[in-house]
Amino acid sequence: MKNRFQSGEEERYHRQREHMGAEQLFNRGIRSEHVLAAMREVPRHRFVPPEDRPLAYADGPLPIGKGQTISQPYVVAAMTEAVDPAPGKRILEVGTGSGYQAAVLAATGAEVYSIERIPELAASARKVLESLGYAVHLSVGDGTLGWAGAAPFDGILVTAAPKELPPSFAEQLVEGGRLVIPVGALDQTLYRYVKLPDGELRAEALFSVRFVPLRKGE
């Protein structure tokens, strides 16, 4: 039988990913099969600088260049679970960064849109996503405005923290749609909002987090 891995290195990363799924995700309460499967599938090591690859599946955040970071695997999984992606659902991510979170969303079968303000990060994310075969719609610009041309979305996942919730996200959600977003300056809380029939958002605080700031209009 042909080996399904290209090299011993890929096989080692695969084992580390399985271990990450069991220890860091399942054992801490991540239960969505869609999310667990996506986290086991996406090669996180491909989204970080080569020198950080040995730590790609460790229980912490990682630098991705330009002073930005990818969240720890548990936070990526918990946010993905909270936004509840599924085949056919349309999900907007704000803050593409490395493209890792976008790949995890795409691996669940969702139709993914993602916006990044730093052109160099968007360009390298595009390259990695294409080379791995994840079809994600990418745009460079100010994500605080959402993506009006592709709205409405079933879910919006924001991976940088505004001090206060920008209004465009609620406007661009369908009724029943979910917005998952860290809010705050130094003390940030991750929230899940659900859009109610009257257009209001119902808030649910999930846990404390630490994200880079969502920068407006630059």
Which pair of structure tokens corresponds to residue 8? 């011993």
Sole binder of ligand SAH in the list 132, 151, 174, 212 (CB under 6 A): 212
CA distance 3 to 19: 21
Known catalytic membership, residue 71: yes
- The residue (of 107 and 214) whose beta carbon lies closer to ligand SAH is 214
Residue 56 within binding range of ligand SAH, rule CB under 6 A: no
Instruction: Find, among 137, 172, 141, the residue nearest to 155 by Cα.
Output: 172
Min CB(2)–ligand SAH separation in Å: 32
Residue 91 within binding range of ligand SAH, rule CB under 6 A: no
CA distance 17 to 44: 8
Interacting stretch for ligand SAH, rule CB under 6 A, among 19-27, 49-57, 116-124, 201-209? 116-124
Please provide the DSSP assignment of 126-190 as one string: HHHHHHHT--EEEEES-GGG--GGG--EEEEEE-SB-SS--THHHHTEEEEEEEEEEE-SSSEEE
Sole binder of ligand SAH in the list 44, 45, 90, 117 (CB under 6 A): 117
Interface residues with ligand SAH (CB under 6 A) are: 64, 68-70, 94-95, 97-98, 100-101, 115-118, 121, 142-144, 159-160, 212, 214-216
